Amino acid sequence: MIEIGIIGGAGYTAGELIRLMIHHPKIKIKSIVSRSHTGELIHLVHQDLLGEIKDMKFTRDLKKEIDVVFLCSGHGQSRKELNHISEITKVIDLSQDFRIMNESSFKKRNFVYGLPELQKETIKKSNNIANPGCFATAILLAILPLAKNQLLKNNIHISAITGSTGSGREQSETNHFSWRNNNISVYNIFQHQHLQEIEQTIHQVQNNFCSKVYFIPYRGNFSRGIITTLYTYSTFSLKKNREIYKEYYKNHPFVNISDINIDVKQVVNTNKCILYLVKEKDKLVVVSIIDNLIKGASGQAIQNMNLIFNLDETCGLKLKSVRF
């Protein structure tokens, strides 16, 4: 069994990790750290786990015998936590601290960008993974087949809307019910923090890309999920573009190409990404949907763990969407 630990165990991302891990056939949870809830029963914070995780409590520190630790603390906290983690322990970091190449090292650790559909074989050989951001995951999965085939010839225009869980568990003006309900807004126009990893990855795959990426994110009035719509110039037919996408993702079990229009509920509670392509004159439009807490965070982290430990990529992640 793979013995795992979680640091930052009280947040939404950690709650989803725990929920998925307790049914994973190859995992044993050794300790879940929360400095703000030390000594409290875990199911009192993650109330959906009542009856699932029994009498387990949050601890202040990790137990020493851990195979892999998941860092779910806030952005900027991971480097502090690594000072207290054994160098032989594998690390999957769900913050943005190590996603950018010139920031991807800490002491003897070198972090690999953990998007399996980009570099699965590299992840398999790695001990330190920087889990991608949720917006970045949805957007990159919509772009990678074009970049791989050197087909990005013009600017990329993106709009994407995320559920309130993307803002984390701590309350703020823009993520509590009264503000989100019957409401929608844009934020960080052309300046979202995930743009760096998106642009970095595009250039990694298609190094001659010299156009711009314009990204407008929206706060949605629902709790979970991301829907992304992007468009860019394309001379290929819709049929040809679909063939390109299906060929690229033929060995990636969590990405599906739909021939009909899609909606967020198709992916909620799953590790799937579903893509839908439309051609309008000389523009290719790609719609991408994921669950921001699973494929955009915890599920992808487990997918990366499966790859590191040479397990079936889908182990513990064969989940059905909550459609109604």
Catalytic residues: 134
CA distances from 17 to 29, 77, 107, 262 (A): 10, 19, 27, 26
Alpha-carbon distance 75 to 318, whole Å?
29
Q: Which residue has the tokens 């994407």?
A: 160
Q: Exposure string (b/e) for 52-62, b if CB count within 10 Å is 16 or more?
A: ebeebbbbeeb
As a whole number of angstroms, the longest Cα–Cα distance in the chain is: 60
Which runs of E-coded beta strand occur in 48-162? 68-71, 90-93, 105-106, 109-110, 112-113, 128-130, 156-162
For residue 2, give both structure tokens. Answer: 């793979």
Residue 49: Cβ within 10 Å count: 18
Query: Do 273 and 289 form a contact (C-beta atoms < 8 A)?
Result: yes
- The residues with which 258 forms a beta bridge, in sequence order, are 276
